[in-house]
Amino acid sequence: MPKKSSSKGTRQGTANERKSVRYDDQNVTIGTGGETHQIADGERPVLTTQQGIPVSDDQNSLKIGARGPTALEDFHLREKLFHFDHERIPERVVHARGFGAHGYFENYESLSDITKADLFQRAGEKTPLFVRFSTVAGNKGSPDLARDVRGFAVKIYTKEGNWDIVGNNIPVFFIQDAIKFPDMVHAAKQEPDRGFPQAQTAHDNFWDFISLTPESMHMVMWIMSDRTIPRSFRFMEGFGVHTFRFVNAGGKSTFVKFHWKPKLGLQSVVWNEAVKINGADPDFHRRDLWDAIKAGDYPEWELGLQLFDEDFADKFDFDVLDATKIIPEEDVPVRRVGRLVLDRCVDNFFAETEQVAFCTQNIVPGIDFTNDPLLQGRNFSYLDTQLKRLGSPNFTHIPINAPKCPFAHFQQDGHMALVNPKGRVNYEPNSWDGEGSGPRESPEKGFTSFPVEEQEAKLRVRSETFADHYSQARQFYLSQTDTEQNHIANALIFELSKVERVAIRARMVSHLLNIDSGLAKQVADGLGLKEMPKPADAARPTREDLKESPALSILLNGPKSFKGRKVGALVTDGVDIKILESLKSALKSEGALLEIVAPKVGGVKASDGSWIEAAQKIDGGPSVLYDAVALLPSEDGAKMLVKEPAARDFIADAFAHMKFVGYTEGAVSVMMHAGVPETRDKGFIAIKGQDDCSTFVAACRQLRFWDRAKV
């Protein structure tokens, strides 16, 4: 029998935790306090609608009788759903997945001899900035450890306006001309009919496009290297990619390439680890940055400049306007002129990280563009995409995008105009006097373009000076250590093995033949190609005389200490407290962290009866999340771990990923069950007493025991 509708009912599900938001002129203030602050009932603000109307019940909608229809009149319900339905804005077409933080740039020295840019004038001056790191191909919810280029976009709020260096963690790009960008991105992202694969270039469309685009070959070497699987945003380089100009007060121009050099050295993970991290912690990179900043361990990069003049540009083997080329650091050294420090997490992800709008056009007096055809296309594209994404030309009114210096103009109105001029005048020139008459242009202070002389025929062509596609690809490959060269070959084999059409695989190998025949052979073998293809037709033969550039290797530029890294300690009841304490203090003096992994997250009882809390239960804290591991179970605890698959995987993975392993005697039986050979290599460090902890931490500075892979 259906129940009869009645007006009887109770006010169910009323929450006693209430928070509210107050609009104070243009500043939004969150009304109630944090998690630990106790608020007396009388003090707690009343929940309201967006119009400020107090809400009596936020748990139940307005109904005709307790079981009857919902009334359309329920303006609170309708407003709440309306707002929720509009919470999303279009995600970025590329670089959708990102993570940002605030910080500052500090100048080491005055650069007034080379640029009049205000932020570079005074040694020691700090300028606020915001950085957003990102992956390129994946959607907003894709995992952090996708094999992909990382965006490294910096917005510097200078006293003469916002300067954006919208760079990547790789100094070259796939294409030379902006007109190819939509094709390149279409090919890299999900295939349009099926909507997959997500955040992966390991599919036919990508490699089809690439294998038909020889100019991408240098970039292919970089993306197949470990640069695309960084261990942390903190341990990767950044690059402005294009050649820009500095202009000094005397009007003299110097070409410049921008570099960001991480203070903690370079570090990447291995591919098998990346695949597993994506499952264990898809937010690995964002969590890492968030945790480091919250712990006061502020990541730093140094700004490096490669400075050169027209003479060098004319003599250089390649075109400085070609974004598929680098200038080796050995040819033009990188001059370190300041540091970027990230010292504050965002308060709100959407307001800051999602709404930040970078634009290569945002440039300040003293800095200028060059004719790099990729840069020229970008200068148009970014403003256009912001309008689509943020929905109004007033996106500069959003605090994260607004300049922090005074600004004044006559642009007005439009959607969501938050900063509105007062007074009668909204044009210039005007003949009004005094306050309401508005700003005026300033030939002295205003931005002026460097007066390059241009006079040539209008043509749809690519410069002949852009035609060498293989020489620097070869130089990059040969500059890598053996281990890194192997990783490049394995990455190519992995990606091309996911490509269904054999012709595409073969076409890629035909390009590799122009880079290095050994690499081509290794990849062809790995793919099981029946026949070696002919080398691809090359517009220019590959040069074999380019010197190796050690600056291009990650392993040759690793950290000198274990600072900023993390050890996962697998413990059980009965863990030797003295060893645990010494390991903790050895890591602390190194500037590294220890995280306890235990059978239960509640923790374990140590040898002295004290209670040790765990950060992770074993299956939630696999060894892929750590830079090195310490196996510290008691003899009894080890008997239990032997039966635990997650514990065996913890050890087997650390072994397979060439990590340093510190172990106490109790761990030996579990290691054997995890497949670690009885004769252990030098990456295994026995911890018998407290002193061995420092030996273990010292070994960890090498990050990986690569020799294990050679066995």
Give the C-alpha separation, 679 to 251, whole Å: 68
- Min dist. Cβ of residue 131 to ligand HDE (A): 9
Q: Of 426, 381, 393, 386, whose CA–CA distance to 408 is shortest? A: 426
Give the C-alpha separation, 421 to 159, whole Å: 21
- Min dist. Cβ of residue 388 to ligand HDE (A): 9
Catalytic pick from 107, 168, 205, 514? 168
- Min dist. Cβ of residue 646 to ligand HDE (A): 36
N-to-C CA span, the chain: 76
**DSSP three-state, residue 351:** helix
Amino acid at 510: S
- Min dist. Cβ of residue 194 to ligand HDE (A): 23
Pick between residue 278 and residue 385 the one whose CB is nearest to ligand HDE: 385
Contact stretch for ligand HDE (CB under 6 A) within 88-96, 121-129, 415-423, 688-696: 88-96
Give the C-alpha separation, 279 to 346, whole Å: 25
**DSSP three-state, residue 680:** coil
Query: 164, 155 in Cβ contact below 8 A?
Result: yes
Does 168 participate in catalysis according to the annotation? yes
Pick between residue 217 and residue 569 the one whose CB is nearest to ligand HDE: 217
Task: Determine if 97 is a binding residue for ligand HDE (CB under 6 A).
Answer: no
Query: 514, 535 in Cβ contact below 8 A?
Result: yes
**DSSP three-state, residue 255:** strand
Report the site for ligand HDE in 369-388 (rule: CB under 6 A): 374, 377-378, 381-382, 385
- Min dist. Cβ of residue 235 to ligand HDE (A): 18
Pick between residue 348 and residue 517 the one whose CB is nearest to ligand HDE: 348
Q: Which of 132, 155, 234, 657 binds ligand HDE (CB under 6 A)?
A: 132
- Min dist. Cβ of residue 176 to ligand HDE (A): 10
Catalytic pick from 76, 95, 102, 285? 95
Pick between residue 132 and residue 511 the one whose CB is nearest to ligand HDE: 132
Q: Per-residue string for binding with ligand HDE, 176-215, x by CB under 6 A?
A: --x--x----------------------------------
Task: Determine if 93 is a binding residue for ligand HDE (CB under 6 A).
Answer: yes
Task: Determine if 94 is a binding residue for ligand HDE (CB under 6 A).
Answer: yes
Pick between residue 100 and residue 197 the one whose CB is nearest to ligand HDE: 100
Query: 630, 687 in Cβ contact below 8 A?
Result: yes
Q: Per-residue string for binding with ligand HDE, 135-174, x by CB under 6 A?
A: ----------------x-x------------xxx----x-
Residue nearest to ligand HDE (CB): 151
Give the C-alpha separation, 100 to 172, whole Å: 23
Q: 326-362 burial string, b = 16+ CB within 10 Å, else e? A: bbbbeebebbebbbbbbeebbeeeeebbbbbbbbbeb
Contact stretch for ligand HDE (CB under 6 A) within 94-102, 273-281, 521-529, 603-611: 94-102
Helix (DSSP H) and strand (DSSP E) numbers for the chain: 18, 20
Q: 385 forms bridges with which residues in the sheet?
A: none
Pick between residue 173 and residue 562 the one whose CB is nearest to ligand HDE: 173
Tokens of 312: 């060098």
Half-sphere exposure of 550 (CA within 13 A, CB side): 4
Contact stretch for ligand HDE (CB under 6 A) within 90-98, 226-234, 298-306, 699-707: 90-98
- Min dist. Cβ of residue 314 to ligand HDE (A): 24
- Min dist. Cβ of residue 375 to ligand HDE (A): 7
Task: Determine if 265 is a binding residue for ligand HDE (CB under 6 A).
Answer: no
- Min dist. Cβ of residue 93 to ligand HDE (A): 5
Q: Which of 107, 115, 127, 134 binds ligand HDE (CB under 6 A)?
A: 134
Q: 216 forms bridges with which residues in the sheet?
A: none
Task: Determine if 301 is a binding residue for ligand HDE (CB under 6 A).
Answer: no
The distance from CA 6 to its chain's CA centroid, rounded to whole angstroms, is 57
Give the C-alpha separation, 388 to 500, whole Å: 36
Query: 168, 238 in Cβ contact below 8 A?
Result: yes
| Residue 604 φ then ψ, to 5° | -140, 160
Q: Which of 156, 210, 241, 489 binds ligand HDE (CB under 6 A)?
A: 241
Task: Determine if 95 is a binding residue for ligand HDE (CB under 6 A).
Answer: yes
Pick between residue 131 and residue 504 the one whose CB is nearest to ligand HDE: 131
Pick between residue 114 and residue 170 the one whose CB is nearest to ligand HDE: 170
Report the site for ligand HDE in 312-351 (rule: CB under 6 A): 323
| Residue 341 φ then ψ, to 5° | -120, 130
- Ramachandran region, residue 609 (left: φ > 0; alpha: ψ -120 to 50; beta: rest): left
Does 371 participate in catalysis according to the annotation? no
Task: Determine if 230 is a binding residue for ligand HDE (CB under 6 A).
Answer: no
- Min dist. Cβ of residue 166 to ligand HDE (A): 5
Amino acid at 578: K
Torsion 533-539-543-546 (CA) sign: negative
- Min dist. Cβ of residue 367 to ligand HDE (A): 15
Give the C-alpha separation, 709 to 656, whole Å: 8
Pick between residue 207 and residue 358 the one whose CB is nearest to ligand HDE: 358
Q: Per-residue string for binding with ligand HDE, 385-424, x by CB under 6 A?
A: x---------------------------------------
# binding residues, ligand HDE (CB under 6 A): 25
Q: Of 149, 151, 142, 282, whose CA–CA distance to 199 is shortest? A: 142
Written in H, E and C, the secondary structure of 528-585 is: CCCCCCCCCCCCCCCCCCCCCCHHHCCHHHCCCCCCCCEEEEEECCCCCHHHHHHHHH
Active site residues: 95, 168
Instruction: Summarize as ranges the residues that interact with ligand HDE (CB under 6 A).
Output: 92-95, 98, 132, 134, 151, 153, 166-168, 173, 178, 181, 241, 323, 356, 358, 374, 377-378, 381-382, 385
